[in-house]
Chain A
Amino acid sequence: MSDPVVQVSGLRYGVGRRRIFDGLDLTVARGKVTAVMGPSGTGKTTLLRLITGQVMPLEGEVTVFGQSVPTLPKLELYALRRRMGMLFQNGALLTDLSVFENVAFPVREHARLPESVLRALVLSKLHAVGLRGAADLMPGQLSGGMARRVALARAIVMDPELLIYDEPFVGLDPISMGVIVRLIRELNDALGITSIVVSHDVDELALISHHSYLLSEGKVVAQGSPAELRDSPLEVVRQFMSGEADGPVPFHYPAPDYLEQLRS
């Protein structure tokens, strides 16, 4: 295996008194699709914010392309981010720009291309996600699935080496879901990029990921290929993979004794 794209070790992070990560270790191999799974509220999105340098860890190392993210000055962090693309949960399209201009936005900001070249580039990316015909629409006119595909076109327009997906499957109908699932793996293999997918949709992730991490309570509790995770003997993994309501991850939010509370 060549050097990893993302290396997280001994990561500790918290907000106020709440501990989110307590000694997290994780590696993302070059050219692979790495899945990060876990119940809601385990800080999966926070992990992405740490990898992209939006928040700083309390302790531990976050290395992307061999550079330590938390210690980078702003300009170098911005240079590093140009090598990444990120797909947000709700697309995060700029609402005052058309679909075409949204995809063109990062290119206009970072490169001076003749208008004809820019046009060809943007249309080719929109074609890749099947939305060349929607170039003139405004984000408000798109369905949730279309918005996410436009956001995906925008994320790949600068030809990133690392693509990060934050909950790409949430709230999609089965057809849009199938499209996104296929696109993630196809883009990864065709463009030779590295992908991180944060999600809790076990079945979809099993279709596309090479390696999966399962997070719970601030740590990696299990990792391996989709098949290895499915056959894991660990109770917490079984509960998550088969979706049982109660188990090591309790159904009830911590509360005082029910009877006591009713009597008081």
Chain B
Amino acid sequence: MMFEPIQRIGRVGVFFGRLLVQCGPALLRPRAVVHQIFNAGARSLIIIMLCGLFVGMVLGLQGFDLLQRFGSEDALGVAAALGLLKELGPVVTALLFAGRAGTSLTSEIGLMRATDQLTAMEIMAVDPLRHVVAPRFLGGLIAMPLLVAIFNLVGLFGAQLIGVQLMGVDPGAFWSQMQSAVELDDVSEGIVKSVCFGIACSLIAVYEGYNAEPTAAGVGLATTRTVVISSVLTLLIDYMLTAAFLGR
């Protein structure tokens, strides 16, 4: 019982190693990877943009309410930008990604396992890790930072919409303070986070699908596990990365 989670981490690690070996050959077929970027990325666009807009609007409201108590509502642009770039963008996108793209990866691969498609590939001397799993992993990994960028963009628009248009913050102050206060380091922190979340969420999704028990209940369980483990892992990694960046 005690050893079960540790064994699990070990198995995921071994799987990750085997997957990485197959990622090189998989990159030689860019079409399959591009197709998976479309699946994981483009098909998540609407939900990502919608959520980005609302998160940005909430930031606008809450930020304005907080900052006006100190009479510094001009800093709303900085607050919204830093909040989105460093934290909310990567984290919320990763959580949405786990629910939208992660589950579809897990159930797709799990069903391929359950219907013997993966076994059939092995018998045809085709490694399913290379042909099925690696392109999906790479697709998710590449899609995540792109989705985060779009989320941030739409989020800033939402914050601007509320702060400037509705609450009357000076647009000049909103944008110029943002421009002068946000450093390259803040942006790169967000990029590093989004790449790490991309690796974690995609890895968990394909691992759970590949190792799902080949039954209806097994695939269902694996899909649930993908969401739960990806979400917890995202927040855990987020804390560690934040601590690491602040401690520099």
**Using a CB–CB distance below 8 Å, which chain A residues touch chain B?**
52, 54, 78-79, 81-82, 84, 86, 88-90, 92-95, 105-106, 109-110, 151, 154, 158
| 21 contacts across the A-B interface (CB closer than 8 A) | A52-B123, A54-B122, A54-B123, A78-B125, A81-B123, A84-B123, A86-B123, A88-B120, A90-B116, A92-B117, A92-B119, A94-B112, A94-B121, A95-B112, A95-B115, A95-B117, A106-B125, A109-B124, A110-B125, A151-B120, A154-B124
Quick one: CB contact mask for B69-91 with A, threshold 8 Å, 1 for yes? Answer: 00000000000000000000000
How far apart sit A110 and B123, CA to CA, in the bound complex (Å)?
13
Quick one: CB contact mask for B109-134 with A, threshold 8 Å, 1 for yes? Answer: 00010011101111111110001000
Please name all residues of chain A whose beta carbon is closer than 8 Å to the beta carbon of B116 when the two chains form the complex: 88-90, 92
Nearest chain-A residue to B132 (Cβ)?
Answer: A94
Of A54, A79, A81, A89, the residue contacting B124 (CB under 8 A) is A81
Of A90, A105, A158, the residue contacting B115 (CB under 8 A) is A90
Q: Judge whether A54 and B119 touch: CB under 8 Å.
A: yes
How far apart sit A243 and B117, CA to CA, in the bound complex (Å)?
33
Which residue of A88, A151, A158 has the most chain B CB atoms within 10 A of its CB atom?
A88
Nearest chain-B residue to A79 (Cβ)?
Answer: B125
Please name all residues of chain A whose beta carbon is closer than 8 Å to the beta carbon of B120 when the two chains form the complex: 86, 88, 92, 94, 151
Determine chain B's interface SS by DSSP, over half rule: helix
- Taking the nearest CB of chain A, how far is it from the CB of B30, in angstroms? 16
Please name all residues of chain A whose beta carbon is closer than 8 Å to the beta carbon of B121 when the two chains form the complex: 94
How far apart sit A84 and B122, CA to CA, in the bound complex (Å)?
11
- Taking the nearest CB of chain A, how far is it from the CB of B130, in angstroms? 10
- Taking the nearest CB of chain B, how far is it from the CB of A197, in angstroms? 16
Other A-B contacts than A88-B120, A94-B120, 5 sampled, CB-CB below 8 A, are A54-B122, A84-B123, A88-B119, A109-B125, A109-B131
- Taking the nearest CB of chain B, how far is it from the CB of A139, in angstroms? 10
Q: Judge whether B115 and A92 touch: CB under 8 Å.
A: yes
Please name all residues of chain A whose beta carbon is closer than 8 Å to the beta carbon of B115 when the two chains form the complex: 90, 92, 95
Which residue of B112, B119, B121, B124 has the most chain A CB atoms within 10 A of its CB atom?
B124
Please name all residues of chain B whose beta carbon is closer than 8 Å to the beta carbon of A105 when the two chains form the complex: 124, 126
Please name all residues of chain B whose beta carbon is closer than 8 Å to the beta carbon of A94 when the two chains form the complex: 112, 117, 120-121
How far apart sit A54 and B123, CA to CA, in the bound complex (Å)?
9
How far apart sit A82 and B124, CA to CA, in the bound complex (Å)?
6
